[in-house]
Chains A and B, each alone.
Chain A
């Protein structure tokens, strides 16, 4: 361990990342061109970051749940502690749901809840990172034109396309509690 890593892992404000780092990718590749390219890229990333990676493809709605459950249960049996886990979910979807290859849906919240501090002892108090590559609706954002003053004072020639921003950036979502829970 380098002196820099030692310094950071003993930092009370940082999660200890010195034990097992686990990653699970659940991906439906059917009718999703480019999925294998994403899986390959993720595998290279996990290797670079020192994560042990597991990939499962073409899952039914129930299959997503079963594979995540198995991932969680396997963690509970590990002798060495787990420091962190990444779960990547890639499928067709809508707001709050993923679509299985059987055409049935699974709620994202059902999957997220499987690794909470209540439902996963091995990951209690440990960072759990969910990365979801799926549609959340059908709207398409044309973007909004950046005014010259907001672009650092650049003046655009009439023949140039002015730069645009996505509609929903620069917003900090700060909620008093997580969805479904009372706020005090």
Chain B
């Protein structure tokens, strides 16, 4: 977690959910794509991180 910028996951999710419209699973795919594409450095070593989505939604959940 960055001291000033916050956590990578929350910041990415907020950006995607705020600036895009659509079904939440599509938006979460965008979150995963962005996080997977990013190269993080921790203690001089490259790191990768991605969220995991488990869904039991029965219908489309639109955020707008």
Q: Name A residues whose Cβ lies closer than 8 Å to a Cβ of B.
A: 5, 8, 11-15, 17, 32-35, 37-38, 41-42, 44-45, 48-49, 84, 88, 90, 127, 129, 131, 133, 140-143, 164-169, 173, 178
With A166-B48, A168-B50 as contacts: A37 and B61 at CB distance below 8 Å: no
Instruction: Pick the contact of A168: B6, B52, B59 (CB < 8 A).
Output: B52
Instruction: Pick the contact of B48: A15, A164, A178 (CB < 8 A).
Output: A164
Contacts of A32 in B (CB 8 A): 1
Contacts of B39 in A (CB 8 A): 143, 164
Contacts of B62 in A (CB 8 A): 8, 14-15, 17
Contacts of B49 in A (CB 8 A): 141, 166
Contacts of B9 in A (CB 8 A): 133
Mark interface residues in B1-36 (1 if CB within 8 Å of A CB, else 0): 111111101110110011000001000000010011
Contacts of B11 in A (CB 8 A): 37-38, 41
* A141-B36 Cα distance, complex, nearest whole Å: 11
Main secondary structure of the interface of B (DSSP, over half): mixed
**Pairwise interchain contact A15-B59, C-beta atoms closer than 8 A:** yes
**Pairwise interchain contact B47-A15, C-beta atoms closer than 8 A:** no
**Pairwise interchain contact A37-B64, C-beta atoms closer than 8 A:** no
Size of the B side of the interface (Cβ < 8 Å), in residues, is 36
Between-chain CB contacts (< 8 Å), 17 pairs: A13-B59, A15-B60, A15-B62, A41-B6, A49-B63, A127-B24, A140-B42, A140-B47, A141-B47, A142-B45, A143-B46, A143-B47, A164-B46, A165-B36, A166-B49, A167-B48, A169-B36
Instruction: Pick the contact of A84: B32, B47, B61 (CB < 8 A).
Output: B61
* A84-B24 Cα distance, complex, nearest whole Å: 12
**Pairwise interchain contact A129-B2, C-beta atoms closer than 8 A:** no
**Pairwise interchain contact B61-A14, C-beta atoms closer than 8 A:** yes
**Pairwise interchain contact A142-B1, C-beta atoms closer than 8 A:** no
Contacts of A131 in B (CB 8 A): 10, 13
**Pairwise interchain contact A34-B50, C-beta atoms closer than 8 A:** no
